[in-house]
Amino acid sequence: MIQRPRGTRDFGPKEMEARRDLENDFRRVAERFGFREIETPIFEHAELFTLKSGPNIIEEMYAFEDKGGRQIALRPELTAPAMRFFVNDLTNMPRPLKVYYFGQCFRYERPQSGRFREFFQFGAELIGAPTPESDAEIIGLAAAMIAVSGLGEYRIRVGHIGVLRSMLKDAGVAQEMVAGILQKLDKKVYNEARPLMMDAGMSDDSIEAVVKLTETTGPVAVLDEFPGEASDYLRTVFKVLEAYGVTNVEVDLGVVRGLDYYTGIVFEIDAPKLGAEKQVCGGGSYSLTELFGGEKVFSTGFAIGFDRVMIALEREGYKSKEHGVIAYVIPVSEGMRTQAHSIAAEMRNSGIAADVDLMRRSLGKNFKYADSIGARFAVIVGENEMAEGSVAVRDLKSGEQRLVKRNELVSTLQKEESGARSRCGGEN
């Protein structure tokens, strides 16, 4: 028996229904915010990712040489492909350009809870509008997506990398040493960050001031301790978020996201139910286009760890909506099989999800099967009923059975389906 590769998963019908529901909810929210979908190749030139994240990322990638001798990699994330696409083909589109995407990514790392070698990202980018309103729009979109997912326990932490960069610059840290310090501060490994800051010539007081900064969290008022342009920018972002009704958000100047291309606002969304791997979304404003041969353009965006959101929902006990066919058609006798298929086809052509007996089961076994696939109604096609132009329709939840005119079957089931949706609150 051939097993699936380590770090990958198979998803059964019930899991896929839940995942597609969430994916479609995310799409609807993105489109309500005016974002439009793009898609990029599942593999790219490896250089695209080493330019963005440095050569060390090659150890984490599924990289290989193709038959033409080119260095190719399965994409480890989706921001770089989106920005490569923008530089190649989308620079003449009206700005701000608002795009979203969803797809598989691949990283060769040790599989663990919430971390897989094949995983899924849902992300968005807003390109070409260098204003606090743009960052607020992106954070507002991410917040709306997490809210629509049904996740009950999460928090949004927002910082500004400019505050920390300014402190390091004022302390005399050379530009080439900043990235290494930021990476350690991002991971909160202060015992490794302090020696780097000492090597960069920082005084003890300056080092402790930086550590204090990264431990600063709370309402907007905490920014009063760090006056400056970056703090003023953050205040404006929070003001717009308040107008959007986003309240589950706090200042966290320890959100560093220690990568060189982040330039301003940075944010993360955590789901505490996930434990150590609690981050379900991360993003901020950045500059990448010039790395890929384009003009320098302001961009802000995020990526949601789709799999982690699903796991967090499971741990909260969230129940996804039930799926199943509306009607299961059962021929009572051999002579009614053609009629049963005709009825199933009519319902399907009218937009009603319908299944039909293909196994030539007995009536009792057909009822049992209909229940197992989640059918709402059984449509029983009998000779006596058909002779009178009717079929029997049984509600499989209540057990109630009634005769319905053959020519009224579709409209009757459509009304039943519409009523059921209304009772459940409709679709998101």
Q: How far apart are CA 70 and CA 80, in angstroms?
A: 18
Residue 420, pLDDT score: 64
Segment 35-46 shows an average pLDDT of: 98
Q: Is residue 169 very low, low, confident or very high in pLDDT (cuts 50, 70, 90)?
A: confident
Segment 327-348 shows an average pLDDT of: 97
Inform me whether the pLDDT recorded for 259 exceeds 70: no
Inform me whether the pLDDT recorded for 423 exceeds 70: no
In which residue are the tokens 């996201």 written?
257
Please tell me the pTM assigned to this model.
0.90
Inform me whether the pLDDT recorded for 12 exceeds 80: yes
Q: What are phi and psi of 250, to 5 degrees?
A: -140, 160
Q: How far apart are CA 24 and CA 308, in angstroms?
A: 17
pLDDT above 70: percentage of residues in the chain: 97
Can you say how many angstroms the Cα of residue 382 is from the centroid of all Cα atoms in its chain? 48
Give the sheet arrangement for strand 279-286, strand by strand. 36-37, 97-106, 118-127, 299-305, 279-286, 262-270, 155-160, 249-252, 217-218
Domains belonging to the chain, first-starting first, are 13-315 (3.30.930.10), 327-423 (3.40.50.800)
Return the minimum-mean-pLDDT range out of 20-34, 126-140, 260-274, 409-423: 409-423
Q: How far apart are CA 45 and CA 243, in angstroms?
A: 42
pLDDT above 90: percentage of residues in the chain: 76
